[in-house]
Amino acid sequence: MSFPTIAVTRATQPKTKPLADAALGFGQIFTDHMFSMDYIEGQGWIDPRIEPYAPISLDPSAMVFHYGQAIFEGLKAYKAADGSINLFRPQLNFARVNQSNARMVIPAIDEAFCLYALEELLKIEKDWIPTQAGSSLYIRPFIIATDPYLGVRPAHTYRFMIILSPSGNYYPQGLNPVNIYVEEEYVRAVKGGTGYAKTPGNYAASLIAQAKAYKAGYVQVLWLDGVHRRFIEEVGSMNVFFVIDGKVVTPAINGSILPGITRRTVLELAKKLGLETEEREIAIDEIAELAKTGRVSEVFGAGTAAVISPVGELRYKELVMNFNDGKIGPLSQQFYDIITGVQYGRLKDDYGWIVKI
Ligand SMILES: *Cc1c(COP(=O)(O)O)cnc(C)c1O
């Protein structure tokens, strides 16, 4: 396949990389280079380039600042046991860019070219991939509307960028279950809205409930549907799973839920392991009822950042539900071990998940 040439401008003053045992945290450190390309109506996506990471200049009237026409993605590069660089199902991230773009009226990208551009960027930045256990290079592709214009309409010009951030182990203390607050006042998304698109506005809308949950001593929010405030949607920025009578159950993709790649991976893996799976509506009162008799053995979130995030406690109004004595459950552990094992090359990729660079 032949792709447009990517112009490369090397950083003349590379930054000092974090020490091998540094606490990297998440999303605070950025590498030496970034990828950009622009869209101009009539010309398409043009001028692909890798340049030194630096602030960008935009007109204060750039449309993204005013009406939020933008999308983003999140994935990771892992330093594998054999020294290679592993990407986990990156084709699905770039396919989702186009699904998000379609909803936000942003012109489609060439998915294969964007993956190629990411690979070229990673070849230049490979020494930035941290090697401590559980660490990775977080990859943030995003697109913003750049027209200097205050009228409300889809933009005519956009920028696509990829930036990279070395990030530490999500679980420096091991996989500890978290306590979750079931939100019944605010909602994240509604059917017909933008819930299935990875767009910044969904996050802006979620912050108030997040702050409320923190205040009440919880780390995340479990979202209910916007119409009935009854059907379970997601937990924070992860999809959510319940193990009910040994079955792996998750809310069906319904237009307001983000179709997570980790969600899809857990469902595929569960089937491969011979477990029964269900994608359906799950009412919070159903979980409350089943939890009384111990039929919900595990609850966990699933997303790129944490992979699997076990839930020890759900609080719904005055009701406190506990799962698996506040410890990580066996299936949660198994999903975590297999997915991360394949990501870091400790386990053979029998699934076709890994793209090696
Ligand atoms: C990104 C995201 C997820 C998880 O998707 P993955 O592809 O598994 O990382 C879930 N919910 C929301 C709202 C998200 O933005």
- Residue boundaries of the structural domains of the chain: 7-167, 178-343
Residue 350 φ then ψ, to 5° = -85, 5
Q: Which two tokens stand for residue 239?
A: 């999809």
**Secondary structure of residue 247 in the 3-state scheme:** strand
**What size, in residues, is the chain?**
357
According to the model, what pLDDT value does residue 1 have? Answer: 64
Q: Residue 172 carries which DSSP code?
A: T
Beta strand pairing call for 277-280 and 247-251: parallel
Q: Verify whether ligand 1 is closer than 6 Å to residue 304 (CB atom).
A: yes
Alpha-carbon distance 276 to 27, whole Å? 37
Residue of the CA atom closest to atom 2 of ligand 1: 237
7-167 and 178-343 in the same fold: no
| Residue segments in the chain with a per-residue pLDDT below the cut of 50 | none
Q: Verify whether ligand 1 is closer than 6 Å to residue 309 (CB atom).
A: no
Q: Residue 89 carries which DSSP code?
A: S
Distance 308 CA to ligand 1 centre (A): 12
Q: Verify whether ligand 1 is closer than 6 Å to residue 301 (CB atom).
A: no
Residue of the CA atom closest to atom 6 of ligand 1: 260
Task: Point out the ligand 1 atom lying closest to the alpha carbon of residue 198.
Answer: 15
Q: Verify whether ligand 1 is closer than 6 Å to residue 239 (CB atom).
A: yes
Q: Which two tokens stand for residue 195?
A: 């819930």
**Secondary structure of residue 331 in the 3-state scheme:** helix
Task: Point out the ligand 1 atom lying closest to the alpha carbon of residue 75.
Answer: 9
According to the model, what pLDDT value does residue 172 have? Answer: 75
Distance 207 CA to ligand 1 centre (A): 16
**Angle, helix 90-104 to helix 111-124, in steps of 10 degrees:** 130
Amino acid at 93: N
Distances (CA, A) of 315 to 92, 123, 181, 207: 33, 46, 5, 19
Q: What percent of the chain has pLDDT over 90?
A: 94
Task: Point out the ligand 1 atom lying closest to the alpha carbon of residue 265.
Answer: 8
Q: Verify whether ligand 1 is closer than 6 Å to residue 258 (CB atom).
A: yes
Distance 259 CA to ligand 1 centre (A): 7
Does the CA dihedral 93-206-257-146 come out positive or negative? negative
Provide the strand spans (E) within 25-156: 33-40, 44-52, 70-72, 75-79, 85-88, 136-145
According to the model, what pLDDT value does residue 57 have? Answer: 98
CATH fourth-level superfamily of 178-343 = D-amino Acid Aminotransferase, subunit A, domain 2 (3.20.10.10)
Mutate to test the pocket of ligand 1, among 240, 304, 340, 353 (most ligand atoms within 8 A of CB): 304
Pick among 3.40.50.720, 3.30.470.10, 3.40.50.300, 3.40.50.1000: CATH of 7-167: 3.30.470.10
Cβ 139 vs Cβ 162: under 8 Å: yes
Q: Verify whether ligand 1 is closer than 6 Å to residue 251 (CB atom).
A: no
Task: Point out the ligand 1 atom lying closest to the alpha carbon of residue 303.
Answer: 8
- Taking only Cα atoms into account, the Rg of the chain, rounded to an integer number of angstroms, comes to 21
Mutate to test the pocket of ligand 1, among 103, 170, 198, 256 (most ligand atoms within 8 A of CB): 198
Which ranges of the chain does DSSP label H, i.e. alpha helix?
Answer: 63-67, 90-104, 111-124, 200-215, 261-272, 284-292, 330-343
